[in-house]
């Protein structure tokens, strides 16, 4: 049912080329670190978990192509591949996390020969992928318990299978409820300026047989006012220790609108998205992006050339507007400082 966004087949990485969606479903095979670097760079793969998995597989491809006769030579080639892949998306946290994990694995097993080491690296990359699937399935299972037959979920941006290896976070909840036999309808915001909701979420939901309706971002309030929505579920880019959540621009407004219409507002994200070192949303830096993302579309100008633009990529939703945070270990509830700390403590054991 679900698309395998990132997959590993016979020594090659296979990914969905997201730049071609929704027009066509095209897979790309990557055989060398250069292919992975290119795919990351032109956003053929996106979404923090998917980026991490692709980076790990890129390191494996570097090891497989190495001609080194001993482990030391292989280590040199592996480090070189990791360094190179790290330049593709310099701000992606998951990318560096995955590369570090691969290098640590390599260091631990450098006593073995190059072929054994390559096999171990391949196993580690597949472990990262499997862990992602398990985490997403966990989020789906816990979230699905919140949904009833006939519910209608509003979502924003793409927190779906296309952002992870396969199941997604916010959409994992929908998929799990659907698999459990509940009829769930989804309204998806198109999500300006990059339109991930229209291009990716609408596409993957329709493909999974979910009843899906696309709206413009400014229609969410009306749809809630008409009583069409039973809950809002979005993903997260970073969650602070107090539950404040950074996510795609527009999420903060949806949270206010949900509150005004007495609609529950949930965040769905793995525990790894929680940053206990960030005390509150005030500590989360918000990236401002190129004004031309707003001034143009697909090469066509839609606004005056020199008009000033404000284009923040994310916003921060305060914890008080969040009804629950759906994670792989359960749904965390307010007060979040306590429930988040407890979940992280249990997870570390």
DSSP code string of 251-290: HHHHHHHHHHTT--EEEE--GGGEETT--SGGGS---B--
Residue 76 or 320 with smaller CB distance to a copy of itself: 320
Q: Copy the structure tokens of residue 12.
A: 């090659």
Active-site amino acid positions: 237
Count CB neighbours of 224 within 10 A: 20
Residue 139 or 210 with smaller CB distance to a copy of itself: 210
Residue range at the interface with a copy of itself (CB under 8 A); choices 160-168, 247-255, 269-277, 335-343:
247-255
Q: Copy the structure tokens of residue 250.
A: 């527009």
Interface with a copy of itself (CB under 8 A), residue from 310, 345, 348, 349: 310
Report the distance separating Cα 324 and Cα 243, nearest Å: 9
Q: Is 188 in contact with 155 (CB distance < 8 Å)? A: yes
- The reply on whether position 302 binds a copy of itself by CB under 8 A is yes
Interface with a copy of itself (CB under 8 A), residue from 45, 95, 198, 233: 198
x/- track of binding to a copy of itself for residues 152-191 (CB under 8 A): ----x------------------------------x-xxx
Contacts of 289 (CB under 8 A, 6+ apart): 193, 311, 312, 313
Q: Is the peptide bond before 91 cis (omega within 30 degrees of 0)?
A: no
- Per CB under 8 A, contacts with a copy of itself among 15-54 are 22-23
x/- track of binding to a copy of itself for residues 73-112 (CB under 8 A): ----------------------------------------
x/- track of binding to a copy of itself for residues 206-245 (CB under 8 A): x----xxxxxxxxxxxxx-x--------------------
- CA-based R_g, the chain, Å: 21
SS3 238: strand
Q: How many residues bind a copy of itself (CB under 8 A)?
A: 55
């Amino acid at each position: 049912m679900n698309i395998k966004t990132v997959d590993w087949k016979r020594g090659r990485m296979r990914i969905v080329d997201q730049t071609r969606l929704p027009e066509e479903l095209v897979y790309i095979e990557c055989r060398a670190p250069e292919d992975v670097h290119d795919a990351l760079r032109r956003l053929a793969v996106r979404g923090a978990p998917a980026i991490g998995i692709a980076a790990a597989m890129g390191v494996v491809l570097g090891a497989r192509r190495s001609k080194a006769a001993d482990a030391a030579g292989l280590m040199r080639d592996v480090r070189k591949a990791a360094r190179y892949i790290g330049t593709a998306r310099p701000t992606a946290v998951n990318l560096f996390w995955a590369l570090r994990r691969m290098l640590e694995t390599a260091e631990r097993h450098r006593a073995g020969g190059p072929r054994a080491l390559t096999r171990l690296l391949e196993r580690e990359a597949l472990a990262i992928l499997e862990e992602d699937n398990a985490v997403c399935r966990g989020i789906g299972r816990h979230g699905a318990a919140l949904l009833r037959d006939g519910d209608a979920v509003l979502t924003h941006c793409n927190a779906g299978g296309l952002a992870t290896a396969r199941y997604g976070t916010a959409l994992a909840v929908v998929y799990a409820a659907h698999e459990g036999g509940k009829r769930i309808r989804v309204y998806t915001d198109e999500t300006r300026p990059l339109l991930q909701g229209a291009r990716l979420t609408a596409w993957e939901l329709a493909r999974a047989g979910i009843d899906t309706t696309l709206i413009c971002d400014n229609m969410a309030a009306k749809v809630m006012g008409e009583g069409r929505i039973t809950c809002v579920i979005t993903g997260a880019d970073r969650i602070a220790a107090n539950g404040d959540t950074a996510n795609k621009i527009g999420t903060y407004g949806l949270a206010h609108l949900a509150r005004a219409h007495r609609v529950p507002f949930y965040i769905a994200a793995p525990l790894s998205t929680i940053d206990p070192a960030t005390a509150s949303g005030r500590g989360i830096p918000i990236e401002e992006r190129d004004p031309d993302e707003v001034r143009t579309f697909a090469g066509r100008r839609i606004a005056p050339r020199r008009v000033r633009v404000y284009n923040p990529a994310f916003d921060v939703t305060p914890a008080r507007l969040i009804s629950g945070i759906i994670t792989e270990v359960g749904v965390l509830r307010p007060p979040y400082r306590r429930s988040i700390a407890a979940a992280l403590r249990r997870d570390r054991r």
